[in-house]
Amino acid sequence: MTEDLKPGMTNIARRMVTDQNTAAAYGTGALGVFSTPAMISMMEEAAFLLLKKQGLSSVGTGVNIKHLRACLPGTPVWAEAEIESIDRRAVYFKVTAYDAQGEIGKGTHSRFIIDPEKFLQKLQNSKG
């Protein structure tokens, strides 16, 4: 299942900072700057799509992120996810977000490889 995955594999997700992904819009701050949740989402997307390109479905299981610098609307931003290690169906990533001036955030993210049908069936069966 994960035999084609290798440490060092990377993927990039890109976004534009807009009024809709600011801290003020997310309700996580008062300023119109790129929100931490939006940055984390972009980092997760880079990791998710790396696995998806390999034909794998996954769910996020952990994030440990530092938001280093603010970005105003109109700023292009991107995140790179790099596989650091793989433990059976658990995949661990180094994630870094950037704008044209350099790093805006960094940290780690983990994902777990799943079979979507089995995963959803298990959730349906556990409803109480």
Catalytic residues: 36, 44, 67
What is the C-alpha separation between 97 and 31, in angstroms, rounded?
20
